[in-house]
Amino acid sequence: MAKADAKNVDVRLCAIVPVYRHEKASRAVVEKLVSYNLPVILVDDGNAPEGHEILVQITKEFPNVELVTHKVNRGKGGAVRSGMEAAVAAGYTHALQVDADGQHDMEAIPFFMKAAKKHPADMICGFPQYDDSVPKSRENGRKVTNFWVAVETLSKDIPDAMCGFRVYPLATSWKVVRRFRNNRMGFDIEILVRLSWAGLKMRFYPIKVSYPEDGVSNFRMFHDNVAISLTHSMLFFGMLIRLPLILARRLFKKK
C-alpha cells in the first residue's frame, strides 16, 4: 500500500489476549488495554473452571471485552487463531496480540496503535528489550530461532520472531493463518515466516520485557523446544519449495 493510501484506511483495532493459567495476571493487562479504549478479545484456552470464572468476571467488570472459550487447551497458536477469527467476524481490521502474563511494557500500546494507523498494510512487531530477569536459556533459544528464521526467509527482515506483542493487519494475516495448523509455541515464529513469504512488510519497534519471579510459565523446556525444532525443519523445507519465488521477490525489492 502506498503511503498516501494510509490516510484513507479506516483502522479498526482490537486486542487479542490468549489466556492459559494466567487468568489472574490477565486482569491488569485487560485494565490497561481498556484504558486506551481498545476493544479486547479474551481467549480462555481451556482454563480450569475457577480460572474461567475469573475471566467471566473480567468481561463483566470492563466494557467492550469479549470472551471466546475453548473447552480444552489448544495452545497459544490455537488461541490466537480463535481470537483472529472473532476479530474478523466483528469487523476489525487490525489486532494487537498481547500475552496475558504482563511481561510486556503496556505503556508501549499507544505507540504501537499509532504505528498501525500510520502503516496499516504492514505488520507491526515488538523487538524485545530485556532486563536482568530474562532466563539465559530463553535468551539463547531466541538467538537460535532468529538464526533459523533468517535462513527460512533468506533475509534479516525479522530480527525477533518470538515476541508476543505485535499488531496484525487482519486482511492479510487471516488468509495465511487459516491455512496452517501450528497451534503451539511455534505459532509466533511460523506466522511471521509465512507472512514474510507472502510479501508482507514488517516493522519492528523496541518494547521492554520482564519476567516476574513468581510468574507462571507455560513453556515446557523439552517438549516445546522439540516442537519448535520441528517447526523450523518444516519451514526450512517450505523455503526450499518456495525458493524461486522468494529470490524473485528479493530481486524485485532491490530494484
pLDDT at position 118 is 97
Domain span at residue 140?
Answer: 3-254
Place of cell 475457577: 50
pLDDT at position 252 is 73
Alpha helices in the chain (DSSP H): 23-35, 49-61, 76-89, 109-118, 136-153, 170-177, 187-197, 221-241, 243-254
Query: What is the Cα 100 distance to its own chain's centre?
Result: 12
Domain count for the chain: 1
- Judge whether 186 and 194 are in contact, CB under 8 Å: no
- Tell which residue, 223, 156, 215, 158, has the closest CA to residue 190: 158
Q: Which residues pair with 203 in a beta bridge?
A: 124
**DSSP three-state, residue 127:** strand
pLDDT at position 166 is 98
For the chain of 255 residues, list the mean pLDDT of each consecutive stretch of 10. 57 97 94 97 97 97 96 94 98 97 94 98 95 72 91 95 96 92 83 95 95 58 73 94 88 66
pLDDT at position 3 is 46
Q: Which residues pair with 14 in a beta bridge?
A: 95
The CB-based long-range contact list for 139-147 (8 Å cut-off, 24+ gap) reads: 141/225, 141/228, 145/189, 145/228, 145/232
pLDDT at position 243 is 93
The values of phi and psi at residue 148, to 5°, are -70, -35
Q: What is the CATH number of the domain that holds 189?
A: 3.90.550.10
pLDDT at position 212 is 66
pLDDT at position 100 is 94
CA angle 16, 89, 126 (to 5 degrees): 30
